[in-house]
Amino acid sequence: MADIILEARNINKYFHDPVDVKVLSDINFKVNKGEFVTVTGKSGCGKSTLLYILSTMDTDYEGELLIDNVSMVNRPEAMLARVRNEKIGFVFQFHYLLNEFSVLHNVMLPGLKLNRYPIQQVEHHAMEKLTRLGIEKLANKKANQVSGGEKQRIAIARALINDPCIIMGDEPTGNLDKKNSELVFDIFKQLAEEYKQTLLIVTHDQEFAARTHRRIQMEDGKIIPDVH
Ligand SMILES: Nc1ncnc2c1ncn2[C@@H]1O[C@H](COP(=O)(O)OP(=O)(O)OP(=O)(O)O)[C@@H](O)[C@H]1O
Ligand SMILES: [Mg+2]
């Protein structure tokens, strides 16, 4: 049986301001190890809200979330913060790199925060990730001295630094041109195929989604069932 990395069980989510609105309804799915899964759907259907819950940042929901077979329900914030840092890598639409630091240091930051390996080893890991993504030459540049496409690859290297169980992305190609979007897609694909990296990516890009292992389509806060 395949290893399950993430599981959503009957997740419901309400916003209460100004009136009660149900924004996610009965969300159920599993993501297996090494799967490259996308979440698609119209603007406002609840994709970011769902990703917020799945990444443990939002704890105000009904139902259950399991990451790496451990329930995330009713856990103290310190534990959730550790899970986020250790088990989840994030790639957003905007890269959030720190301009005053070198590329290498930016990639090292979540590794330093995890505080599991000595600094030299974190640096070695960071160089490995940069090399894997073909951008090792940028290591000593300042983060504001590289292109937009390079920044997003650096953000992916940073997401990989703690060898997460799963990489989550909210529109990671949303701010890139076609060429750079394809490059990021190819990197994700390579990570899934060569390194068995699990990926859960929210995207508007239907072409992108069609080329992944599985697409979860949402409408009005619900998952549209697959028609076979
Ligand atoms: N903090 C909030 N309070 C109340 N309603 C919210 C809040 N955040 C989001 N919503 C509403 O919840 C719904 C889902 O929003 P969400 O941001 O998850 O959509 P999305 O699918 O990510 O859209 P997009 O593709 O535009 O990013 C929308 O109707 C939105 O207006
Ligand atoms: Mg969104």
Mean pLDDT (whole number) for 180-184: 92
Alpha-carbon distances of 137 from 102, 110, 133, 145, 151, rounded to whole Å: 12, 21, 11, 12, 13
Residues 118-147 have pLDDT tens digits of 999 999 999 999 999 999 999 999 999 999
| Minimum CA distance residue for ligand 1 atom 16 | 46
C-alpha span between 119 and 126 (Å, rounded)? 10
Name the residue of 22, 43, 48 whose CB sits within 8 Å of the most ligand 1 atoms, as the mutation to test its pocket: 48
Domain with 154 in it: what CATH number? 3.40.50.300
Residues 147-163 have pLDDT tens digits of 999 999 999 999 999 99
Q: What residues make up the domain containing 37?
A: 4-224
Of the candidates 54, 59, 52, the one whose C-alpha atom is nearest the C-alpha of residue 75 is 59
Residues 71-89 have pLDDT tens digits of 999 999 999 999 999 999 9
C-alpha span between 129 and 121 (Å, rounded)? 12
Number of domains the chain is built from: 1
Name the residue of 47, 205, 218 whose CB sits within 8 Å of the most ligand 1 atoms, as the mutation to test its pocket: 47
Which residue is associated with the tokens 């090292």?
A: 108
Task: Give the distance (Å) from ligand 1 centre to CA of residue 45.
Answer: 7
